[in-house]
Amino acid sequence: MIQRQLILLALGVLSVAAMALFWAGDVRQYRETGERRSLTQPLRMRIDAPGAFEDFILGLGVYHYRAKRRGSAAFRDVFYDTAAWDLYRRGFSYRFRTRIGAGTPAYTIRFEQEPRFLRDDDTKLDIVSRLPVDVGRAIGDGQWARAVSGGVDNSASTRLQLVLQEIGVRPEDLRPRLLGELTRERFDITDKGRSWFELDYERWIFYPFGREPELPGLQFDDLVLDTRLNKTDPELLRRVNTMYQFVNFASGVRFSRRAPHERAIEEISGKYFTANPDQKEK
């Protein structure tokens, strides 16, 4: 344990030194893609090694941050797409989400643009609509068409129809294609009595929709760092810059512009689905 703390302290010193390069105009890049990215967008990281999350939390202490656990939640997502994955190919996702666990389930429809298709100055398309409980339960019981044709409020429905028309996808061609189960733990990252960041620890497992018994699920562990503060605050930007450098040196994590469901689609589509909509699925 002492050895691990010494290593993390050394990495913290190196990270601070690297800030000189940053302020000189050097890279603030994704290790995975090499692309530049706005520092004010949520930062997604893949966990690639056992114990990396614990090391990440421990390493934050080098910067005097404390991680305070806020709570946990569980969700089940059904991702809709065409037989040829047209939404995925065009950089969009459309999901029906059920919040599960204690209390009355909550149901949501979400249509959003994938971050890796955005430039730093782009505004992300994100259409979210809370569904009435009776509609959500009906969809969960198998009335899948209602996730596309009914239950969404008029404003969200109009925007959704316009986007689908613009990208050339017919609502009637959408169907459930991927099932994702998510357990999320949320932490406040604080310093000097102020919460600067939210950190989500996401544990995902994915299945081709309707085929859960046929294969082990694909599992991904991700960290998502975000803030709800004024993103033009100079102090916040300084802290975000420092956080980027910290992540660059953190062991067992790496930046990712691909959301977990995108990575799942890329891994399973060639094995269990065909890209040609005129062919049957394998």
Separation of alpha carbons 29 and 36, rounded Å:
5
Separation of alpha carbons 108 and 77, rounded Å:
9
- Summarize pLDDT for 247-272 with one digit per residue, the tens: 888 889 998 888 999 999 998 876 55
Tell me how long the chain is: 282
- CB of 36 closer than 8 Å to CB of 28: yes
212 — pLDDT class (breaks 50, 70, 90) = low
Maximum mean pLDDT: which of 112-126, 145-159, 215-229: 215-229
Model pLDDT, residue 241: 84
213 — pLDDT class (breaks 50, 70, 90) = low
CB-count burial class (<10 Å; 0-12, 13-18, 19+) for 99? middle
Model pLDDT, residue 191: 94
Domain boundaries, the chain: 33-70+181-272, 78-178
Long-range contacts at 135-143 (CB < 8 A, ≥ 24 apart): 135/107, 136/98, 136/105, 136/106, 136/107, 137/105, 137/107, 139/96, 139/107, 140/98, 140/105, 140/107
Separation of alpha carbons 260 and 184, rounded Å:
13
Largest CA distance in the chain: 60
122 — pLDDT class (breaks 50, 70, 90) = low
Is it the case that residue 83 has pLDDT exceeding 80? yes
214 — pLDDT class (breaks 50, 70, 90) = low
Model pLDDT, residue 268: 81
Rounded mean pLDDT of 156-178?
90
CATH top class, domain 78-178: mainly beta
**Count of C-beta atoms within a 10 Å radius of residue 260:** 23
